[in-house]
Structure 1
């Protein structure tokens, strides 16, 4: 029986085929999550977003939501932060130095477990778009101070991860290779969407966080289902036999999962049928 359902956010729970660049939860997905919760299955977010986004979900669904935040840097269960993995101040300084030679136009964003979001260029997109999301309550805090100034204050909490934001998949892949060549032995360099890369602490991932959570709470791999759509979801998809990739995912993501679905609602429907004994497997 599936006891825990773990969902990625952007490109997954927040994906709407009719509006690919939207960030809302469709009525179909919302009703499916509520039905899942009513059946007794625990729902958990696993996202590149900070763990405070769970509070936004709690308002949406009306129940307490656990979280794997910032790709595994934070795990929050019953409102208790169980871990806080991150980069050092020097890591950020070194990345900003390398940014001077970046082969494509990019804006870098630092995020920490306080919910601070700090861009290097506040006069370059997507700062304004993120600031609007902050005003809507999606992000806890947005600084108008550049990253290069922020890191001069050593009393500030270091960032858990750094995100490079570009304007196309082509630019993303160029930037991915650029930072992999320079920092691949120091960070995990991944992407979590078509227009961004992420610099993560080594060996910190959604999958590692999920495995640690399963061990802590006593979940068997066959009692956990998860769903995602991007490179940062692969380790999580490999952690359980009940893993789903979104249909629009890259092939490398689909190959790491056991099932491919169009929506989160479709995956939840399969899980509920399995739990009711209507199918011998998913």
Structure 2
């Protein structure tokens, strides 16, 4: 029996309007009543998922958890109690920011409670609205963040081939980082060894749950580590085609149609 279900948000749990479909909400209610942990596993910061937690009835609840910043942080929902945090050093974050200025990308810098965005296009602002609390910046460096804890940095461009070229161009400069892609628009940089899979296994160990008793659901490459780490790794029907073969199963429903509920019904509730 699965005791922890870790689930990505955007393009997985949420529909295109950033809400949890009714079908998913009903399935989550059934499993939480059985004592199964439903854990949001997101690239976002933990403070930005309050709306989703409220929709699924887990906001500010004790003994319920969120894996955020792609695994850089694990929090208990009650009062956002931080159980684990492993971000980037200021020097590394600033290096990534400076490197990003050389490319045609929008740059995101995440602290624990704020997202700073450099050079966002109008469509990126539209995409972020409703998903994050963010501030637009124009600085040529991030010295104003020195002394703050930085979770991760990412580059945005809707041309994924361009982002792959950027990653290849950076080469050894990112060998000491965990690099992934998400939402078909982001190239993400985390501390080495920090990813959703490591976050899921860390939480499971903390709760005395075996890896085989975990299930993970996602749609893109920043979900792949947890899909591989979990006892059952589930991709949505809209999963990035490049990683479909690395998932254990693929749902027939996409994120708008309640693919998460489909997986829960089939593999947890037996319906």
- Indicate the TM-score class for this superposition, using the shorter chain for normalisation: 0.7 to 0.9
User: CA 1:192–1:132 in 2, change beyond 3 Å: closer, same or farther?
Assistant: closer
TM-score normalised over the length of structure 2: 0.86
- The aligned counterpart of 2:109 is 110
**SS of the counterpart of 1:148?**
coil
- The aligned counterpart of 1:267 is 263
C-alpha contact 1:230 1:253 (8 A) present in aligned 2: yes
In the TM superposition, residue 242 of structure 1 has moved relative to its aligned partner by 1.7
C-alpha contact 1:163 1:197 (8 A) present in aligned 2: yes
In the TM superposition, residue 251 of structure 1 has moved relative to its aligned partner by 4.1
Q: Any gaps of 5 or more consecutive residues in structure 2?
A: 254-258
C-alpha contact 2:100 2:155 (8 A) present in aligned 1: no
TM-score normalised over the length of structure 1: 0.83
C-alpha contact 2:213 2:231 (8 A) present in aligned 1: no
- The aligned counterpart of 1:31 is 26
- The aligned counterpart of 1:71 is 70
**SS of the counterpart of 1:265?**
helix
In the TM superposition, residue 131 of structure 1 has moved relative to its aligned partner by 6.4
Alignment of 1:187-206 (within 5 A): 187-206=177-196
Corresponding position: 1:148 with 2:124 = no
**SS of the counterpart of 1:213?**
helix
Q: Which has the larger radius of gyration?
A: 1
Choose which of 152, 162, 165 in structure 2 pairs with 1:161.
152
C-alpha contact 1:233 1:253 (8 A) present in aligned 2: no
User: CA 1:93–1:110 in 2, change beyond 3 Å: closer, same or farther?
Assistant: same
Corresponding position: 1:183 with 2:173 = yes
C-alpha distance in 2, partners of 1:251/1:226? Answer: 18
In the TM superposition, residue 7 of structure 1 has moved relative to its aligned partner by 0.5
User: CA 1:57–1:83 in 2, change beyond 3 Å: closer, same or farther?
Assistant: same
**SS of the counterpart of 1:118?**
strand
